[in-house]
Amino acid sequence: MPRLELNPNFTDPDAFYAALTELHRERSEAESERINARLILLLANHIGDQQVLEEALAIAGQAAAQPPDQRSEQAATGS
C-alpha cells in the first residue's frame, strides 16, 4: 500500500518554487485560488491513490489547525 512521500523528493525545489511564484505574479487573489485549485486536482489525479490522498488531506488539515508560530516551528524541524 503506497504511503505519502514526506521526505524531500524534488529534483529542483528552487526551480519549482520560482515557477510557482511566477505563475501567481500579477494575478488577482481569485485567479490565484483558481490556479491552486486546478493544480491540486491535477496533482491529485496524478497520484490517484485514495489512501495517499486522504493521508495528505489529514496532514494538511492538521497543519492548518495549528497556530502560525507552531506551523513555522514544525516546518523548520520537519515534524
- Separation CA 10–CA 12 (nearest Å): 5
Could you tell me which residues come within 8 angstroms of residue 35 by beta carbon, excluding any fewer than 6 positions away?
A: 23, 24, 27
The C-alpha cell that represents 63 in the structure block: 497543519
- Which pLDDT tens digit goes with each residue over 10-55? 999 999 999 999 999 999 999 999 999 999 999 999 999 999 999 9
What grid cell was written down for 51?
Answer: 489512501
Going by pLDDT thresholds of 50, 70 and 90, the confidence category of residue 65 is confident
pLDDT attached to residue 74: 56
Centre a 10 Å sphere on the Cβ of residue 71 and count the other Cβ atoms it contains: 14
Contact 17, 8 (CB under 8 A): no
